[in-house]
Structure 1
């Protein structure tokens, strides 16, 4: 066996160029395998760490535990860490939220801060049982103010109704009158504000806000304790949890499903499954491209050595030994290339994640300070190595099968490559007449080497398919994400349902620091309108069946926008705003575009032809409900005059103009519109209102507005920093783009290398043939002309084969991408143009390279050459 291995090593040394090309191919493949697998692992670990940071690192918890059960947990060999939260009682306070009138005090054991994810937002952690920290939602939702060091007195007790104790986790029941019993007065110093705990630990339905202190009763606890724990072997969590239920005698052990899912436990996680599926798809593409690229090198190697293999077989080498010889070649090349690929892959992914760390951090919406970084998984590297090595073995095995089947005599004579009859070599006289003798010889070569010719065409076509499919996949993934996001015209929104003087409040907020511009609007509820069929847009008619609705029946709201903002909106659409302030001819702008989700699909379309101007839509007055005689008179009046005039259609996706169709009027016209169109039927007190803010420093402006609202007794629950949300979404798009284009670039390198390797090596194998043509009188220009004809033939034939398949696969990917987002199919013409141009460039460069190498060969030496 050593002699065969020595022979293989010498062959690799003698054919350095081919060996180097093969190694580069394996390095490229291994780089991609490593980057994809380790990138996916780093992404999952990042989301896992983010959950731990935001919600805590506990794996499960048990409620209402007593001393005996706590001891069992502490002594359980499967449990790694435990911490607990002990209820100390609830107390009433002056809450602005009628559904949350209580504040609940709970004592924290050691290590709870980490397991429960207690994150301080302001101030510090409590240091003794007389200090508490309050949740942030008690400020924004309950109306409590925070001043570090402020002392409050609470009468702590137990909730009771009809003689029955009510759990502190329960919601308020409107049908039951409850009281606090066994109250004890206690003074606490407020030392900090923390981010509210996860839903599992602080139920959103609870009637109380959860304040935390240090537990002072660690040795003796009542049956009002939540115990959090982690397990030593997370893969066995399900079994451990089931066993705990029996051992502790409890009804249920609750699980931190989001975290456990990211570990692949309890059915997995949607995020982790998506990342793994995406990585699997990419690996499949890489395997296809890698096999094609590496196969070429091994096919040429085996073809060059067919005669040597025949000689080896003639002196007694078995099929097994020949297979081992080729397998040894693949192993040697893999041993060189795979470590280099691992280093480049890890380095490349590490650098990419480093530069994208802020993008990933932004996607956490401020709930976590964790930054993404490369997390190398030894198992992942082993998996990448195995996949790459198997890919290399497959690429080597395909041509090896053919060489092994050849008889020793045929291999030495090399008669199996070309077995054709004179009829098969016959070419059209038209080819000779139109393109000359060189083209005819090129065509005869194709017929004579039909298998090699077809393989070259298929190989180039596969490269085209690979590039266009990858580009389409990335484009559709990008588009599917973009279709979910709204265009944002303002930065901060304040949604108001109370009957406040919104104009006055907006004026006060406009004076705050960092607030650049401010506007407001009032809007009615939605009313059913009849739309003339002739006005409907094509997409609206097309989608109406899918959406299960009548295209000419649409719900429309009336919005009254701050005059200044309304004028700017008119300027944007080159409209004369003065036309919309005429009391004798009231008309509106119609916000015309809709975004609807139906059966899991997201539809985005215009209801009315966007170019339509100055038309009427009619309110379905028979759908209006009258509750008294005055309202009935108004309804009857509306039936007589139902036309709402529309000056022009606008297309906006914004938080203040979302989803519903909307008739948009200037605010100063509100009373006129309500009087003339609704005849006093609509009560302005019932209107919802919104204030919208433009601010360059939106985070500081948001903070200033929030503080002002709380200080003045307004609720801040409707305040939203929409710009921060959109920035996080855009950061996610950038992440997708970076990985998408990075993958396209690397796959393009494989594609280019594949085409170059296929063309150049197939020509290099014809050195003797080209030397023979030169010896019988073909000039250098004639050889070049013949090779150019072959270039054009390879390019066109591969495009004819590759493009239809690429377009078909592109459409399949479109259908998959549009399962949840409805958008029109667009032919990937850019990718097609790039692929077509690149194919001819690479093919011609390959030909030029090969021809330059052949020109350096002496004709007599080439004819003598038996191939090493």
Structure 2
């Protein structure tokens, strides 16, 4: 170690407080970078594991392949594991006590399939030959016969058909009923006898409304004939975007008729064939990484800039005894290496430990709230550590570069006299007379101080601006990310849907509102009608259609389909209150009030975008005439007219919003009765939607008491997945905000407190010429205000520009209106003055009691 580096180490030891503050600042920066990288990897790992636990571990499925194609797929260089599966078909379960599940559904796997798909064995073992099966525990519980391991069962296996279907019905199709009862049949293809060798839990992939209990059978590749076909399910060697092209080439080469992908699992690997989504993800990642680096650089740069300022005389003395520019520059770089060598390992460990503690506290909540089988665990990859080290080292280098260059240019005389930082002219410190008139001499002195110490003032303002930009842009990113996730999910705000035919009456549904574990319920009746809307009121997307083809208008009006939805009185009252409507004030004689959902989101498959738009441009108090359209004759008959009581984007439980060209009109059940009272000849459908604290138990209770003509759809799983994604995104982004806030506060505190400590001689001089303690306090308060105002003047416009860039990135995949986060803006305005004021108060406490003589002797070395 040369003499200059030894002096640098000694200087760091002698200035323990500043060195410690710098180290802590770098540790926070490194911890944040590490935490963000670890959070992302860990969340993706959880989503992968949960997807595999629910749907199995596979990537591509080639459908209906024969033995030669199977061999070719097995030998393909991209194939790691090959699973064979086949849906053998349905057979009647005569002993079933559940009239909605009168069948068994036989699904076959080879041995690899038993490993890769979530089959949970309760008793016995898995099949090893084609005449062995494992049955679902649900069969034992719901059948009249208590099946045991070792029983032999004979089934006539075939596919489900109705007179109207052109393809066999599947497990996603519920039992088909008509007015006369069940209207489907099984067309037998084979008769087979099986031996029960095990009992399994009900498979997660079996829909709750499916008509068949799952039975798992073994498929032996060696026994397949040339004419038999199965599904070849592949786990690939390496998951990347080429999986789509490789699968396409292989399917074309082998003449395979159909293929599909496990898109949910592939999405968590960052693999998707939607280019716009890739653009969105990469651009957002770039913006967020840029925010992290800028925030870190601003913190560390200020620390090293202040260090160089403090060491000015020290560097001047080195120059006076022969230190070269390179040696002076390298002394700052060496300081950065020492700080980084200490801070980076501690920061990485701190970031990982912080994430571990966070996961420890939120895992129980996530598992209980969302009923997930997998838990968050800290996943640290070599790439995570490399990225954290590289970005941290790059950040420290960039932070030290400018101070190092500045140090190399310090001349001996200027450094020893300390004239470099303060070069004054009357013009530079001139202030407006208005400042003294409005705020007094203390404000004028405070403003002159800021102008006199321009570089320190600029460094502090820069720190504040960066903090404002960091907080607002991350808050904007958080809200937009959550909004994008919500837009990408279906409007699943219920657990169970119960429906029937158009003859279903309310008396069939209402008793089900009080079954076990129901927490919320909505009974609604839906009617399909039409309306003709004026051209100036239609959605913007439709105006473009009209421009291209004016003939779509009829008498200057566009034809809308309308879903009129009548809620039960209790649900309607709660919904009206939620959208801000006083139901007592909207009922007038001869007026049928309605709440119109005018803002919706929908997927545009041509653009590969989720778009949020207004379906109609109208105002409260306007009327909409409703018509019933006869599709066979094309004739329309006037039904009634409704008056708009409110326009809203809030959606009641169970309502699926319309696309442009359609409207959702919400009324009470009594209003719907009046609306359809005059000889309405159309059909209406009744639905019951339930939220439950235990959806599976609620479904079982419903199955025991419901009428045969009702269908139960338990979509808790879909809703659970939507809520899981949103919750995980919220934890990730709010954790990110906490980290950003920590680095911002540390940045401001470090800059202001160090700046104040460097002004001891200045404060002593002011006190020596008669400034009172109260005057001193007022001066510092005004300085705080000037800092805050200047920071906001620059910070808010820069934040808005970054927000617009983020919005444009989101707009590649999601289209919705841009809006500023006003609540966060108000919060940051208040927070800036609180943080600056607090930092000032803390700092001046240490200089208040200093001796004037000692303060005048103070030199910043």
TM category (shorter chain) comes to 0.7 to 0.9
What does 1:248-287 correspond to in 2, within 5 Å?
256-258=261-263, 259-260=265-266, 262-264=268-270, 280-287=286-293
Paired residue for 1:302, among 297, 302, 308? 308
Equivalent residue in structure 2 for 1:619, among 617, 626, 630: 626
Match of 1:114 in 2: 115
Equivalences for residues 748-759 of structure 1 within 5 A: 748-759=741-752
* Rounded Cα–Cα distance in structure 2 between residues aligned with 1:474 and 1:657: 27
Aligned to 1:603: 613
> In the alignment, what sits opposite 1:662?
665
How far apart in 1 are the matches of 2:252 and 2:807? Answer: 53
Q: 2:3 aligned with 1:9, yes or no?
A: no
Give a deviation string over 1:752-775, Cα, whole Å, max 9, x none: 222222222223323344444555
Contact 2:55-2:204 at 8 Å conserved across structures:
yes
- Displacement after TM superposition at 1:8 (Å): 1.4
Structure 2 distance, partners of 1:706, 1:558, is 29
Matched, 1:503 2:497: no
- Structure 2 match to 1:175: none
**1:129 to 2:130 alignment:** yes
Contact 2:468–2:828 at 8 Å: present in 1 too? yes
**1:134-213 map, 5 Å:** 148=147, 152-155=153-156, 185-187=192-194, 212-213=216-217
What is the DSSP-based 3-state SS (H/G/I as helix, E as strand, rest coil) of the residue aligned with 1:676?
A: coil
User: CA 1:577/1:211 → structure 2, altered by over 3 Å: closer, same or farther?
Assistant: farther
Q: What is the Cα deviation at residue 317 of structure 1?
A: 2.9
Counterpart for residue 32 of structure 1: 32
Q: Deviations over 1:739-788 (max 9, x none)?
A: 44333333222222222222222233233444445556656565555444
Distance 1:829 1:284, change over 3 A: same
Change (3 A) 1:148 1:574: farther
The equivalent of 1:18 in structure 2 is 18
Q: 1:843 aligns with which of 824, 836, 845?
A: 836
- Superposition deviation, residue 674 in structure 1: 4.9
Pair 516,351 (structure 1): closer, same or farther in 2 beyond 3 Å = closer
307-316 vs 373-382, which deviates more? 307-316
Matching residue within 455, 458, 463 for 1:459: 463
C-alpha deviations, 1:221-243, integer Å up to 9, x for none?
Answer: 65645444545555698599689
Aligned with residue 390 of structure 2, among 379, 383, 386: 386
Distance (whole Å) between structure 1 residues aligned to residue 10 and residue 779 of structure 2:
34
Question: Closer, same or farther in 2 for the Cα pair 1:839/1:675, shift >3 Å?
Answer: closer
Residue 255 of structure 1 and its aligned partner are, at CA, apart by 7.2
Residues 778-816 of structure 1: per-residue CA shift (max 9 Å, x gap):
565655554444333323322333334334545665666
Aligned counterparts of 1:491 and 1:242: Cα–Cα separation in 2: 36
How far is 1:272 from its partner?
9.2
**Contact 1:168–1:207 under 8 Å retained in 2:** no
The equivalent residue for 1:524 is 527
Task: Find the aligned partners of 2:20 and 2:587 in 1 and give their Cα distance.
Answer: 74
Residue-by-residue CA offset, 1:284-322 (whole Å, 9 max, x unaligned): 222212211111111111112122223323434333333
CA gap of 1:561–1:305, structure 2 versus 1, over 3 A, is closer
User: 1:353, 1:372 within 8 Å by CA — same for their partners in 2?
Assistant: yes
Instruction: Say whether the 8 Å CA contact 2:308–2:403 is kept in structure 1.
Output: yes
Residues in 1 aligned to 2:695 and 2:169: alpha-carbon distance in whole angstroms:
38
Shift in CA distance, 34/146, structure 1 to aligned 2, threshold 3 Å: farther
Within 5 Å, give how 1:21-60 maps onto structure 2.
Answer: 21-60=21-60
SS at match of 1:525: strand
Q: Which runs of 5+ in 2 are unaligned?
A: 161-166, 174-184, 547-552, 605-609, 658-662
* CA separation of 1:317 and 1:658: change in aligned 2, threshold 3 A: same
- The TM-score normalised by the length of structure 1 is 0.76
The answer as to whether partners of 1:488 and 1:653 remain within 8 angstroms in 2 is no
CA-CA distance at 1:59 after TM superposition: 4.4
Secondary structure in structure 2 of the residue aligned to 1:524: strand
Distance change in 2, residues 1:94/1:211 (3 Å)? closer
What's 1:763 paired with?
756
Contact 2:522 2:653 in 1 (8 A): no
Equivalent position SS for 1:30: helix
- Following superposition, the deviation at residue 862 of structure 1 comes to 4.4
Change over 3 Å in CA distance of 1:832–1:495 after alignment to 2: same
Change (3 A) 1:235 1:747: closer
Q: TM-score, normalised by structure 2?
A: 0.77
Question: Would you say the 8 A contact 2:62–2:256 is kept in 1?
Answer: no
1:523/1:24 Cα in 2 relative to 1: closer, same or farther (>3 Å)? Answer: same
Q: Displacement of 1:267 after TM fit?
A: 5.6
* Runs of at least 5 residues in structure 1 that lack an aligned partner in the other structure: 160-165, 173-177
Does residue 700 of structure 2 align to residue 703 of structure 1? yes
> Shift of residue 701 of structure 1?
1.6
SS in 2 for 1:526: strand
Partner secondary structure for residue 662 of structure 1: strand
Q: 1:208 to 1:773 in 2, by over 3 A?
A: closer
Could you tell me how far 1:350 is from its partner in structure 2?
A: 2.1
Q: How much does 1:36 deviate?
A: 0.7
Q: 1:517 to 1:348 in 2, by over 3 A?
A: closer
- 2:592–2:675 Cα contact (<8 Å) kept: no
CA distance in 2, matches of 1:185, 1:726: 38
Q: Tell whether the 8 Å contact from 1:148 to 1:191 is kept in structure 2 after alignment.
A: no
Does residue 802 (structure 1) correspond to residue 795 (structure 2)? The answer is yes
In 2: Cα distance, 1:71 partner to 1:108 partner: 17
Show the 5 A alignment for 1:397-416: 397-416=401-420
CA contact (8 A) 1:571 1:577 kept: no
